[in-house]
Structure 1
Amino acid sequence: MILASLLLPIAVAAIVFLVQKVRLPVFLAVMATVVVYGIAADMTFQSVGKAFGLGFATALEQTGLLVVAGALVGAVVLRAPLGTGTSAAAGVLAGLGASASGGLALLQPAGQDAPRRALGLALTLLAAAALLAPSPLAVAAASVMKASIRTELMIAVPVAAVAIALGWWHVARQIPSTDEPGRLNWAWLCVAIPLVLLVVQSIAQMPSEPLGKGGSREFYIGISKPLMLAAIAITLAIVLARRWEPSALAGRSWAPLLLAVGASGGLARVFDETGMAELLAEYVLHPRYGVLTPFLAAAIVKTMQGNSLTAVLTASGMVEPMLPALGLDSASGRAIAAAAVGAGSMAICHVNDPFFWIAAHMGRLSPGRALYVVSLGSAVMAIGALIVIAAIRQFI
Structure 2
Amino acid sequence: MSLYQAAFFVLAVVLVLLVTARGRVLPLLALLVGAAGFGYAAGMSTSHFTKAFGLGFAQSVNGLGLTVLAAAFLAAIADAAGATAWLREKARGWRTRSAPLAALGLVSGVASTPAAAFAVLTPLTRAIGGGAPRAATTLGLSLSGAHGLLIPAPVMLASVTILAADWTLALAYGLPVAVLVTLIGLGYARATASGRPLDADASAAMDGDSLHAPRRAALALVLVSIGLIALLITQSLGDIASEPLGGGSNREFLLALGRPPVLLLAGVALMLLLSWHREEGALGERGWVGRGLASAAGLILLIGVAGGLAKMAQETGMAEMNAERLLGCRPAGALALLLPFAVAAAMKTLQGSSLVAAITAAGMMMELVAPLGLDDPAGRTLAALAIGAGAMTVSHLNDGLFWLVAQAGRLSPASAVARFSLGTAIQGGVALAALILLRLAAS
Match of 1:152 among 135, 148, 170: 170
Q: What's the RMSD between the two structures over aligned residues?
A: 1.9
Contact 1:152 1:335 in 2 (8 A): yes
State the distance in 2 between where 1:363 and 1:126 align.
Answer: 16
**Corresponding residue for 2:196?**
178
State the distance in 1 between where 2:423 and 2:322 align.
Answer: 23
Contact 1:307 1:353 in 2 (8 A): yes
Deviation, 1:103, is: 0.9
Q: Which moved more, 1:266-275 or 1:19-28?
A: 19-28
Contact 2:106 2:178 in 1 (8 A): no
Aligned residue for 1:358, secondary structure, equals helix
State the distance in 2 between where 1:108 and 1:68 align.
Answer: 11
Superposed counterparts of 1:6-25, under 5 Å: 6-21=7-22, 23-25=24-26
Deviation, 1:324, is: 0.7
Superposed counterparts of 1:287-306, under 5 Å: 287-288=330-331, 290-306=336-352
Deviation, 1:95, is: 1.1
State the distance in 2 between where 1:163 and 1:342 align.
Answer: 13
Contact 2:102 2:186 in 1 (8 A): no
**Corresponding residue for 2:205?**
none
User: What do residues 313-355 of structure 1 show as CA deviations (whole Å, max 9, x unaligned)?
Assistant: 0111001210011110001100000010011112110000000
Residues 378 and 148 of structure 1: is their aligned pair in 2 closer, same or farther, counting only changes over 3 Å?
same
Contact 1:116 1:177 in 2 (8 A): yes
**Corresponding residue for 2:206?**
none
Aligned residue for 1:384, secondary structure, equals helix
**Corresponding residue for 1:98?**
112
**Corresponding residue for 1:4?**
5
Aligned residue for 1:325, secondary structure, equals coil
Deviation, 1:214, is: 2.1
Aligned residue for 2:295, secondary structure, equals coil
Match of 1:238 among 272, 277, 283: 272
State the distance in 2 between where 1:85 and 1:244 align.
Answer: 34
State the distance in 1 between where 2:119 and 2:14 align.
Answer: 25
**Corresponding residue for 2:412?**
366
Contact 1:25 1:256 in 2 (8 A): no
State the distance in 2 between where 1:214 and 1:270 align.
Answer: 34
Aligned residue for 1:270, secondary structure, equals helix
State the distance in 1 between where 2:358 and 2:277 align.
Answer: 45
State the distance in 2 between where 1:51 and 1:160 align.
Answer: 35
Aligned residue for 2:326, secondary structure, equals coil
Contact 1:203 1:210 in 2 (8 A): no
Q: Which runs of 5+ in 1 are unaligned?
A: none
> Identity over aligned residues, as a percent?
34
**Corresponding residue for 1:248?**
288
Q: Answer yes or no: is 1:345 the counterpart of 2:400.
A: no
Match of 2:137 among 111, 116, 119: 119
**Corresponding residue for 1:259?**
301
Deviation, 1:133, is: 0.3
Match of 2:361 among 309, 315, 335: 315
**Corresponding residue for 1:280?**
322
Q: Which moved more, 1:359-368 or 1:245-254?
A: 245-254
User: What do residues 150-190 of structure 1 show as CA deviations (whole Å, max 9, x unaligned)?
Assistant: 11111111111111111111111111332489997342122
State the distance in 2 between where 1:265 and 1:244 align.
Answer: 37
**Corresponding residue for 1:66?**
67
Q: Answer yes or no: is 1:56 the counterpart of 2:57.
A: yes
**Corresponding residue for 1:356?**
402
Aligned residue for 2:370, secondary structure, equals helix
The one-letter code of the counterpart of 1:29 is A
Residues 244 and 25 of structure 1: is their aligned pair in 2 closer, same or farther, counting only changes over 3 Å?
farther
Match of 1:380 among 426, 430, 433: 426
**Corresponding residue for 1:30?**
31
Deviation, 1:22, is: 6.6
Q: Which moved more, 1:109-118 or 1:296-305?
A: 109-118
**Corresponding residue for 1:129?**
147
Contact 2:23 2:412 in 1 (8 A): no
- TM norm structure 2: 0.86
State the distance in 1 between where 2:288 and 2:139 align.
Answer: 25
User: What do residues 86-127 of structure 1 show as CA deviations (whole Å, max 9, x unaligned)?
Assistant: 312321232111111111111111332233122111110001
Matched residues, number? 396
**Corresponding residue for 2:241?**
207
User: What do residues 339-374 of structure 1 show as CA deviations (whole Å, max 9, x unaligned)?
Assistant: 100111121100000000001111111100000001
The one-letter code of the counterpart of 1:242 is W
Q: Answer yes or no: is 1:334 the counterpart of 2:380.
A: yes
**Corresponding residue for 2:224?**
190
Q: Which runs of 5+ in 2 are unaligned?
A: 92-96, 203-214
Deviation, 1:21, is: 4.4
Q: Which moved more, 1:237-246 or 1:384-393?
A: 237-246
